[in-house]
Amino acid sequence: MSQVSVVKGSCLCGGVKISTTNINHHIGACHCSMCRKWGGAALLAVECDNSISFEGEENITIYQSSAWAERGFCNKCGSHLFYRLKEKNHYYVPVGIFDNDESLVFDLEVFIEEKPKYYTFSNETKKMTGEELITMFQSSASE
């Protein structure tokens, strides 16, 4: 009998609780101007597929940030909850939302060409431009 591991987290006020059984243990940083405006700095997030569930959905407000994606936040405390690709229903969740998952590894930076010069991460990471990332998503969508 296999045991499914559930990863849980919540917003700052606890009004929204998140759980998933499918989390990518690789943290990515997005340096795009939209993510930086959204959170004040690079977005550090982990990918979760559509196996994510929310408790307190009445506290989630959705912002349509583009034709292909939306961002969710808690309308009580303002915590950022997710960036979701609509077509694939894939969620990218800020890593700080989750409770104590020490198995995570920071190893990817995207939209590296938009990263301001005033900060640099010390981790060795794979670095991708926005164009490379979009090409990767387009090629995986056609599979």
* 10-residue mean pLDDT series, the chain (143 residues): 72 96 91 94 91 95 93 97 90 91 89 96 95 80 55
User: Domain spanning 7-141 has what CATH number?
Assistant: 2.170.150.70
pLDDT in the model for residue 94: 96
Q: What is the pLDDT of residue 14?
A: 97
Q: Strand 26-30 to strand 7-10: parallel, antiparallel, or no bridges (unpaired)?
A: unpaired
pTM over 0.85: yes
Q: For residues 131 and 32, what is the distance between their CA atoms, to the nearest angstrom?
A: 12
pLDDT at 56: 98
Residue 1, pLDDT score: 41
Sequence spans of domains, the chain:
7-141
pLDDT of residue 2: 43
Q: DSSP readout, the chain? A: ------EEEE-SSSSSEEEES-B-SEEEEE--HHHHHHHSS-EEEEEE-TT-EEE-GGGEEEE--SSSEEEEEETTT--EEEEEETTTTEEEEEGGGBS--TT-EEEEEESGGG--TT----S--EEE-HHHHHHHHHHHHT-
